[in-house]
Amino acid sequence: MRARAAITGLSGLSLTGEEAALLRATPPAGVILFRRNVDNPAQLSNLTSSIREILGQEAPILVDQEGGRVARLRPPYWPSFPPPAVFEGGPEARAAANAALLGAHCAAMGLDVVCAPCLDLRVPGAHDVIGDRAFSADPAEIARLGEAWIEGLMAAGCTPVVKHIPGHGRATADSHVDLPRVEADAETLEADIAPFRAVCARDGGRHLWAMTAHVTYAAFDPDLPATLSPSLIGRVIRGAIGFDGVLVSDDLVMGALSGFGADLAAASLEAGCDLVLHCNGVLADTAALLRDCPALTPRAEERMRAARAAALAARPPARAAAAARPAPSAPHALTDA
């Protein structure tokens, strides 16, 4: 059975019988894990193994692990990584090493797609939902450190997910709660899209995934947020930015979007997303989404294979061996010291 074009959440620390049956009957393309799904290394390894026993060994398992405020793997079993803003002005090698260590801990747990780095601008006066998750207010600095972060994650065998394309930094509302609207003109928004364009320059971003922003940009589409806008995805994300990798929506159950999950999924996929993200882990909601969600398109499948192959090819033999070992009980991350 072909997988649905969706990445879905789970309810707890292990698969319930109902969840396992649902994944078998209407398989999503992959799964995303949150703090509610993480306790300790043995538990997490068992969970990721059980997911892949059902969905297949190549099924992506995603995690938001940026460092700072956004981290699902936390002490005492995993390091406390600093927020991305700490690396501003510092050497690329330090950012890459931090991302490689972060990625190695994820990979050791079977988490192979890491939702990072944020390539959003840190804009004074904007909502702090981004804040220190952004490397800088300077697009060139974001691109420099973002590329280093990508290289570090890929060295660990992880696929990076750059976010939130085409840029969440100017939003004055938190898209987890409300739909932000950005009134800046297209010339001003060139700064927002510049970091995304830079990391796509090598191969059209085919080594990456990218996550859409639930933000309406008056200059690009005054009526629809990026996630639901065919014109914005076509002209800006696939066009001006030049992104040809896997495009996944941000979480469809966030407050920025209204409507039923299945309807939003259909609209996102019709707009040009390859995958939709549905994270709440509520069995009835997930079942309704998967029942009506279209299958992955051949183009989406090819993009997913290309990104996975790039991450595996970038992983040195020594890193592959390190990633296979369990995480220590009290490791140390890079800090801003």
Q: Which residues contact 322 (CB under 8 A, 6 or more apart)?
A: 104, 108
Q: Which helix (H) or strand (E) holds 264?
A: helix 261-271
Q: Could you tell me the two tokens for 160?
A: 């990076």
User: How is residue 183 annotated by DSSP?
Assistant: -
Q: Which of 245, 214, 207 is nearest to 120 (CA)?
A: 214
Q: Is 176 a catalytic residue?
A: yes
CA distance 91 to 327: 27
192 is catalytic: no
Spatial contact of 164 and 250, defined as CB atoms under 8 Å apart = yes
64, 112, 221, 250: the active-site residue: 250
Residues 128, 176, 203, 336: which is the catalytic one?
A: 176
Rounded to the nearest angstrom, the gap between the alpha carbon of residue 42 and the centroid of all alpha carbons in its chain is 24
Q: Give every CB contact of residue 168 below 8 A, 6+ residues apart in sequence.
A: 118, 120, 129, 130, 175, 180, 213, 215
- At 175, list the tokens: 């898209």
Is the separation of the CB atoms in 93 and 43 below 8 Å?
A: no
Which of the residues are catalytic? 176, 250
